[in-house]
Amino acid sequence: MDQLQNYLFIAAALFSLGLFAVITRRNAVAVLMGVELILNSANVNFLAFSRFGGMNFNGHVFALFVIIMAAAEAAVALAIIINLYNNYQSINVDEASQLKR
């Protein structure tokens, strides 16, 4: 637990799983959950580099901004998802392809 590499591996695993969810899930809420996983892995990286790179708290502030951005993103994404549901009666991202036609 006093190794930088451990934290980087955990963050890489979380990032890969989040990316997998974003690619394969059809439900828009599940895609949003994948994005949250990716943001969390970025936060773990920020804090790990802050802890092992001199502890000067710039990483902490950045992680705080990432959390703020995630909150705003989740609110707007849920509003979009509810709109999508009202228009299509489903929230599958594959079916919302009106602009492609």
Partner 1 sequence: MSELLFWFMTAMTIGSALIVVLHSNLFYSALALVVTLFGVAAFYVFLWADFLAGVQVLIYIGGILILILFGIMLTNKISSVNISHSNFHQGIAAVIVMGIFSILGWMILKTPWLHIVQQEPSQTVGRIGRLLMTEYLLPFEVASVLLLSALIGAAMLSRKAN
**For partner 1, the closer CB: 62 or 99:** 62
Tell me the per-residue interface mask from 16 to 55 with partner 1, x by CB under 8 A, - otherwise: xxxxxx-xxxxx-xx-xxx-xx--x--xx--xx-xxxxxx
Measured between alpha carbons, how far is residue 45 from residues 7, 13, 62, 71, 100 in Å?
A: 7, 12, 11, 19, 37
CB of 39 to partner 1, least distance (A): 9
Residues β-bridged to residue 27 = 92
Q: Residue 77 and residue 73: Cα distance in Å, rounded?
A: 6
Six token digits for residue 72: 């705003």
Q: Which residues bind partner 1 (CB under 8 A)?
A: 1, 4-10, 12-21, 23-27, 29-30, 32-34, 36-37, 40, 43-44, 47-48, 50-55, 57-58, 60-61, 63-65, 67-76, 78-83, 85-86, 91, 94
